[in-house]
């Protein structure tokens, strides 16, 4: 042991090189915009324990996830091992200095024996996990991973850490004699056996090689971390801790847009420092595992969008301009004229085609093991394109104009909003202001010919059980979701404020919806504008009526039914069981699932305002791929619970020459099972 050498190694490795790089990473992160993430500390701690410490999301990709857990668990216990070795470097006479509870050998403690056995078992598991990742990177070469030298180097370093640890134990045991196998230190015992015939000088050399090799690799790896994807080993815990706690996918509100314009502030994000510090922490935390891109519907259909590559490109750009960001922050702190980096991200770092390919489905976010968010960043960049530069797909101009002039993206007359209800008693809230529920019908269920049948079925179900409800009729306008997801925050806020004023004027408290996009916006984004309502999806409401016995499906529907999960109903709001409960209650219905279902259900391709624009170029259309997946279940009916999904899947069936395959909303199927006069609902 050499205290001087250890002191120099620690001072250089930890106190100088790592501290310098870590400080630069910190200053670059804190150059970002503010983000309020210090609320609900107890809940945040619990989530960190569950998902960062407990690795809860890793087994979603089973084999790779288990291999990662092996490596993670081994690395955790090796932290204690490293601390023990650092301490031993400062003492010659007492090799267990500072860690007497973990003493092993003949005079070891019970805790020491348990620790030694646990460590050896985990070393084996780490090597197994490393072998799996060598296989994935070198032999199988998984497309979702970033396959480069850096990944191989990291695996080699981790392998070296395990082998030097075994060498240190084995050489030490061989030095001190004893031919017996020690069950508490199995690895050391096994590898000590062939070393026992070696000379004392050879064993001393091997013992020192294991010791100094291990501590040098630890410090070398520590200094490499901030420069590679393994930086997530440091940032993952805080990234999970500081995750957004509001409803999934809820977008931030741009406060005082007119004031921002007057002050010359940017609407949206144009430059790297305009992202929040939490967004920059996201960039630091990317593991480049590729789970996000593997699940992204745009990426799976050959579009330019790859959430992983977009994050890595932003992070690399940030690293390249760290010095400029730090300098700009220093000038701001000195109350002098700020000089932020002037390069715009769009075009330079992120192509517009990447932004416009995003369907905002959140499949990427559902897979990320460290809770990186992508949709909010893409929308922030869209906001800049739309509101500052006026650059967006031409098709969206039609939708924006329709929203502005007619209150719906198609520009259809407001007086036609209730035309779908002809022949059905659907009361207006102006006539029944005391109705218990306001049914927010939505644009597609009001105007789209196919979605109108869903509205008719739901209205009949409500009337059948005598629900006290009313609709706005011609007073209703779009909730603004297409505008907000397309980046037109100004238009969205105008519509949201007008709608909230209208709803509050009628003293609405409970709202029913048949559109998941309406549900998500009214429930989670309107509170920012003073609209606090209890919003209920039609699937949830009908399932409750079913449980109460108010709805009794008795007519058999003898068909094999596959259910398609809507992104905004499922991943955004975790409504998976109610629609399945309804379908399962229908006599004769055989509910089947496809592999990509529930929180892994693939997007239909309509979200994020894609419904109102031409899809970005790719190898295949998103709705076609999703239709093909559903057809693999060989269904006799496809069920959905979203008018956008219904339109996209209907088009997909047409392109696959399956026009005669029934595509129905769960409300239509339920009405068919409840009432015999339901033939007009059985259409694609």
Q: What is the pLDDT of residues 292-305, one digit of tens each?
A: 999 999 999 999 99
Q: Taking all residues of the chain, what is their mean pLDDT, rounded to a whole number?
A: 92
Please say whether the beta carbons of 661 and 684 come within 8 A: yes
Please say whether the beta carbons of 627 and 684 come within 8 A: no
Q: What is the pLDDT of residues 253-273, one digit of tens each?
A: 999 999 999 999 999 999 999
Asked if the structure places residue 16 within a domain, the reply is: yes
pLDDT of 471 > 70? The answer is yes
Instruction: Give the CATH number for residue 112.
Output: 1.20.950
Asked if the structure places residue 35 within a domain, the reply is: no
Q: Which residue has the tokens 């504008």?
A: 529
Quick one: DSSP state of residue 385? Answer: I
pLDDT-derived band at 370 (thresholds 50, 70, 90) equals very high
CA distance 654 to 651: 5
CA distance 247 to 267: 23
Question: Apex CA 652: angle with CA 565 and CA 440, to 5°?
Answer: 50
Asked if the structure places residue 300 within a domain, the reply is: yes
DSSP calls for 312-377 = HHHHHHHHHTHHHHHHHHHHHHTTS--------HHHHTB-HHHHHT-----HHHHH-TT----HHH
Boundary-marking domain end, from 389, 417, 446: 389
pLDDT of 329 > 80? The answer is no
Both 191 and 216 in one domain: the answer is yes
Q: What is the pLDDT of residues 608-637, one digit of tens each?
A: 999 999 999 999 999 999 999 999 999 999
* pLDDT score at 676: 66
* pLDDT score at 100: 57
Asked if the structure places residue 249 within a domain, the reply is: no
Q: Which residue has the tokens 């706690």?
A: 245
Q: What is the pLDDT of residues 176-230, one digit of tens each?
A: 765 578 888 899 899 998 988 889 999 999 999 999 999 999 988 989 999 999 9
Q: What is the pLDDT of residues 103-141, one digit of tens each?
A: 666 666 788 888 889 999 999 999 999 999 999 999 999
pLDDT-derived band at 1 (thresholds 50, 70, 90) equals low
* pLDDT score at 14: 73
* pLDDT score at 343: 83
Specify the number of domains making up the chain.
3
Beta-bridge mates of residue 469: 437
pLDDT of 683 > 50? The answer is no
pLDDT of 660 > 50? The answer is yes
Both 310 and 166 in one domain: the answer is no
Both 135 and 22 in one domain: the answer is yes
CA distance 395 to 417: 23
* pLDDT score at 338: 44
Both 548 and 593 in one domain: the answer is yes
Choose the weakest-confidence range: 166-175, 536-545, 576-585: 166-175
Report the percent of the chain where pLDDT is more than 90.
80
Q: What are phi and psi of 529, to 5 degrees?
A: -115, 15
Cβ neighbours, 10 Å, residue 79: 10
User: What is the torsional sign of CA 313, 314, 315, 317?
Assistant: positive
Range of the domain at 98: 3-30+61-241
Asked if the structure places residue 37 within a domain, the reply is: no
């Amino acid at each position: 042991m050499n205290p001087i050498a250890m002191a120099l190694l620690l001072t250089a490795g930890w106190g100088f090189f790592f501290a310098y790089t870590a400080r630069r990473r910190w200053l670059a992160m804190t150059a970002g915009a503010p983000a309020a993430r210090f609320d609900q500390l107890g809940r945040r701690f619990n989530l960190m324990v569950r998902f960062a410490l407990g690795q809860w999301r890793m087994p979603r990709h089973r084999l790779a996830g288990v291999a990662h857990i092996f490596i993670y668990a081994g690395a955790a216990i090796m932290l204690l091992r490293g601390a023990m070795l650092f301490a031993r470097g400062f003492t010659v006479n007492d090799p267990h200095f500072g860690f007497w509870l973990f003493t092993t050998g003949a005079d070891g403690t019970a805790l020491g024996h348990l620790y030694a056995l646990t460590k050896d078992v985990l070393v084996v598991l780490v090597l197994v996990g490393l072998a799996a990742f060598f296989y994935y990177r070198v032999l199988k070469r998984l497309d979702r991973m970033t396959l480069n030298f850096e990944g191989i180097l990291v695996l080699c370093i981790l392998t070296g850490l395990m082998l030097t640890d075994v060498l240190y134990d084995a050489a030490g045991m061989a030095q001190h004699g004893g031919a017996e196998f020690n069950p508490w230190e199995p690895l050391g015992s096994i590898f000590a056996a062939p070393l026992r015939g070696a000379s004392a000088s050879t064993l001393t050399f091997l013992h020192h090689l294991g010791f100094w090799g291990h501590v040098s690799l630890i410090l070398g790896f520590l200094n490499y971390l901030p420069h590679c994807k393994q930086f997530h080993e440091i940032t993952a815990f805080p990234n999970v801790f500081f995750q957004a706690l509001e409803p999934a996918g809820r977008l931030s509100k741009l406060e005082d847009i007119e004031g921002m314009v007057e002050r010359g502030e940017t609407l949206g994000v144009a430059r790297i420092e305009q992202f929040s510090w939490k967004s920059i922490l996201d960039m630091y935390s990317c593991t480049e595992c590729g789970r996000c891109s593997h699940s992204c519907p745009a990426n799976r259909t050959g579009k330019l969008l790859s959430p992983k590559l977009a994050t890595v490109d932003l992070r690399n750009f940030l690293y390249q301009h760290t010095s400029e960001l730090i300098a700009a922050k220093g000038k701001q702190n000195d109350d002098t004229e700020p000089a932020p980096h002037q390069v715009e991200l769009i075009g330079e770092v992120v192509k517009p085609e990447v932004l416009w390919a995003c369907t905002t489905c959140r499949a990427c976010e559902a897979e990320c093991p460290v809770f990186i968010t992508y949709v909010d960043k893409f929308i922030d960049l869209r906001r800049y394109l739309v509101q500052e530069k006026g650059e967006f797909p031409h098709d969206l101009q039609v939708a924006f104009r329709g929203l502005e002039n007619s209150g719906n993206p198609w520009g259809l007359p407001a007086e036609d909003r209730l035309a779908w209800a002809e022949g059905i008693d659907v009361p207006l809230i102006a006539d029944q202001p005391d109705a218990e529920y306001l049914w927010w019908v939505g644009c597609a269920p009001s105007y789209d010919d196919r979605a109108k049948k869903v509205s008719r079925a739901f209205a009949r179900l409500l009337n059948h059980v005598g629900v006290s409800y009313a609709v706005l009729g011609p007073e209703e306008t779009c909730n603004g979701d297409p505008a907000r997801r397309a980046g037109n925050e100004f238009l969205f806020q105008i519509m949201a404020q007008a709608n909230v004023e209208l709803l509050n004027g009628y003293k609405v408290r409970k709202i029913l919806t048949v559109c998941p996009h309406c549900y998500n916006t009214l429930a989670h984004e309107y509170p920012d504008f003073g609209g606090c309502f209890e919003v209920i999806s039609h699937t949830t409401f009908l399932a409750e009526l079913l449980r109460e016995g108010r709805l009794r499906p008795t007519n058999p529907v003898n068909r094999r039914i596959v259910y398609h999960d809507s992104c905004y109903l499922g991943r955004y709001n975790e409504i998976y069981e109610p629609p399945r409960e309804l379908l399962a209650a229908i006599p004769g219905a055989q509910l089947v699932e496809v592999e990509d279902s529930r929180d892994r259900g693939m997007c239909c391709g309509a979200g994020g305002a894609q419904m109102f624009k031409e899809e970005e170029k790719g190898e295949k259309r998103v709705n076609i791929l999703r239709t093909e997946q559903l057809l693999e279940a060989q269904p006799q009916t496809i069920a959905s619970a979203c008018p956008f999904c219904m339109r996209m899947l209907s088009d997909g069936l047409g392109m696959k020459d399956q026009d005669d395959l029934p595509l129905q909303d769960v409300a239509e199927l339920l009405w068919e099972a409840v009432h015999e006069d339901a033939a007009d609902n059985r259409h694609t």
